Structure 1
Amino acid sequence: MNTDVKILAEKFNALWEHHFEFKVRYQIRVVDNKVDGSYDFYFEQSRQGRRQRSIPLHSIKRHELEYLETTLKQFRQVTQLTYVFANFEGQRWHSDGRLIQRKPASADPFA
């Protein structure tokens, strides 16, 4: 595991133990922050009728898709939550050529 995965796993596990509840939707949001040249990870939770909560997990400063793909593969072994990608329009994974972000960004992050 690279150091970014270790940091993500450590922060995620601490949040998961503290925040887990039934009837709450959890997901990991990965944002391509083009201004800072980083990939930002957020732990998001949403309950029907309540405001969404987004907690920053970690920012990866190494802005390379191959590195992000490797990091995600390793982090998926830690958590099987849904991953949502933002600001990746038109970008493809290097391993298989699939689009990273299939739907355009919407106002509702859980749409």
Structure 2
Amino acid sequence: MNKDLEIIDQRIEKLFKRISRTRYWIQIVNDPYDQTYNFFFNSQRRGERLKSVPLHKLVNYQLTYLEQLIKGLRAKTNLTIEFTGFTGMRWPTTHKIIQWRREQLE
């Protein structure tokens, strides 16, 4: 198994509590300035504030590597994966758009 995937998977297992009325998802943020991909574990109970915990910083800044990592991650978890900072970019092998809409500033 990929070392980055192993680290992310272990951290998700520790954080995923399966509490009722709580939404869980993974957020992957493209940081073009530091040339990294940052992974976050997000959870939000109904009526409460969002809790976002950093999972891992991927320093291999190649979309092909990220694409393979995400395939492995999807095989291990059914959590929703949300992408930020990928507007207009496409996956190298499938050519599908990664992120359709621009992020909204709050």
Global fold match (TM > 0.5): yes
Alpha-carbon distance in structure 2 between the residues aligned to 1:48 and 1:10? 26
Runs of 4+, deviation exceeding 2 Å: none
Alpha-carbon distance in structure 1 between the residues aligned to 2:45 and 2:12? 19
Aligned to 1:63: 61
Aligned to 2:101: 103
Alpha-carbon distance in structure 1 between the residues aligned to 2:3 and 2:88? 28
Aligned to 1:8: 8
Alpha-carbon distance in structure 2 between the residues aligned to 1:86 and 1:68? 14
Amino acid at match of 2:37: Y
Give structure 1 stretches of 5+ with no counterpart: none
The CA deviation at 1:107 is: 4.1
Alpha-carbon distance in structure 1 between the residues aligned to 2:14 and 2:44? 18
Paired residue secondary structure (1:77): helix
The CA deviation at 1:106 is: 2.0
> What percentage of residue pairs aligned between the two structures are identical?
34
Paired residue secondary structure (1:76): helix
Q: TM-score of the superposition, structure 2-length normalised?
A: 0.94
The number of residues matched between the two structures is 106
Aligned to 1:33: 31
User: Which range moves more in the overlay, 55-64 or 45-54?
Assistant: 45-54
Aligned to 1:86: 84
Give CA-to-partner distance per residue, 1:39-68, whole Å, 9 cap, x none: 000000112221100000001000000000
CA RMSD of the aligned region, Å?
A: 1.2
Give structure 2 stretches of 5+ with no counterpart: none
